[in-house]
A and B are shown apart, each in its own frame.
Chain A
């Protein structure tokens, strides 16, 4: 009997809402009461450094390519030692939706999320962070990884001197 079923189904919601009215609300009264955030909470982004204290970011544009709202922009440049780095790096937090896709795309673990979510203000420009504002003095969540030791080009160590590499070949050697 669909009609009977419908009529039976009509009443429980009223009971549930009525019951809820006498329960304690779950709302956290935010400014006075601070919320407890999960460990992997995604909020403000930072640029970390590698274990040697150098900037991890190589300005590869993968984060800006992954960013669904186009809030990351940068310009790559080359340092004297061959290191590729970001000449400038800008995250517009008025646009950022804290999806964390940039951190997943980052091949050098440079860009990482922190749990600092209190980003609001009346001046939008104060939410446009430049590299100076983003760069931190620690390794963030991984304290061992150094991209330039894995790349296979001679920046962190001379060519052929990185782990799992043989020394440069002698191209004029014709021995079998």
Chain B
């Protein structure tokens, strides 16, 4: 009985911790992005709220919460209110299956460093990342504005196109790890990360997550200079905030997925597992920001061409070759 209680308490603590870490990471990623982008552009970035602008995220939250919550007169009210929540929620849920450290021994209990070790964790991730499309589609549709609608149409088609390549690029991983469970996949990389074993799959996945996170160079759904703000043009206040937070949580999650699937998860010399995991995730987040600072946006037809005519065939070919290699190696 007590064991079960302790178990429950530990799971709860784990949940709260993961929640807190992910959310604060998302908040500070915003700040980090603004600061890093600023430095790349020879500016300072936010430096007024707190020392070096450190409480800027808090100021932003207060600002967003106190802003007028505006709903356009012609909007589809129910869907309009639902969409941002959906966007943030699906992002948060994905984190349930991501293993962020080796199993820990605490009070005689084996404590896996994952909220829920599903044996089909990878499929769960793919499913939820597809669901995230709803937040975007509904937001754009419910706003009843041409910019929003254009943004969400672009977003959806982009999501569908790149999800295929992404799904195909993780097939070799599954084949190599012989499991859908993310913990098993990490364990399979104890010696050598899949990124080195199968670089094409890694690259395709990397490119796909950029598209999946709707960030430069694939930020067409919210292309400011064409569509005002794309699918969330009509949103204000904390509803916009939810979209915004969702986007950054998504960034953390996609970085984590990349770490788990290709960079060997928490494996690494000298440092504890959790630290390695964090270092890898943050490094990929930095990459996200760096790419945003360096690359321009693709044109829409280039984006589609690239997805369907380059990434998709490459990913398919990669599946075949990996399969052949695995077969050959027995």
Contacts and interface: CB of A to CB of B under 8 A. Distances in A.
A72 B174 CA distance: 71
B91 to A, nearest CB: 27
Of the four ranges (under 10, 10 to 19, 20 to 34, 35 or more), the interface on chain B belongs to 10 to 19
A171 interface: no
A17 interface: yes
A18 interface: yes
Contact of A14 (B36, B41, B44, B290): B290
B42 interface: yes
A23 B36 CA distance: 12
Contacts of A21: 36, 39-40
Contact of B294 (A14, A23, A27): A14
A13 interface: yes
A25 interface: yes
B43 interface: yes
B73 interface: no
Nearest to B291: A14
A81 interface: no
B40 A26 contact: no
B290 A25 contact: no
B42 A23 contact: yes
Contact of B43 (A13, A16, A17, A27): A27
A25 B42 contact: yes
Contacts of B38: 25
A158 to B, nearest CB: 62
Contacts, number: 33
User: Considering residues A14, A17, A18, which has the most beta carbons from chain B within 10 angstroms of its beta carbon?
Assistant: A17
B293 interface: yes
A120 interface: no
Contacts of B42: 20, 23-27
Interface string B258-300: 0000000000000000000000000000000011011100000
Contacts of A16: 294
Interface string A1-41: 00000000010011011101101111101000000000000
Contacts of B39: 20-21, 25
A17 B293 contact: yes
B302 to A, nearest CB: 11
Interface string A51-68: 000000000000000000
Nearest to B39: A21
B294 A25 contact: no
A29 B45 CA distance: 11
B44 A27 contact: yes
Contacts of B290: 14, 17-18
A25 B43 contact: yes
B36 to A, nearest CB: 7
Contacts of A10: 295
A20 B293 CA distance: 11
Contacts of B36: 21
A25 B44 contact: yes
B322 to A, nearest CB: 24
Contact of B41 (A13, A18, A20, A24): A20
Interface of A: 10, 13-14, 16-18, 20-21, 23-27, 29
30 contacts: A10-B295, A13-B294, A13-B295, A14-B290, A14-B291, A14-B294, A16-B294, A17-B40, A17-B290, A17-B293, A17-B294, A18-B290, A20-B39, A20-B40, A20-B41, A20-B42, A21-B36, A21-B39, A21-B40, A23-B42, A24-B42, A25-B38, A25-B42, A25-B44, A26-B42, A26-B43, A27-B42, A27-B43, A27-B44, A29-B44
Given A14-B290, A17-B294, A18-B40, 14 more contacts: A10-B295, A14-B291, A14-B294, A16-B294, A20-B39, A20-B40, A20-B41, A21-B39, A24-B42, A25-B38, A26-B42, A26-B43, A27-B42, A27-B44
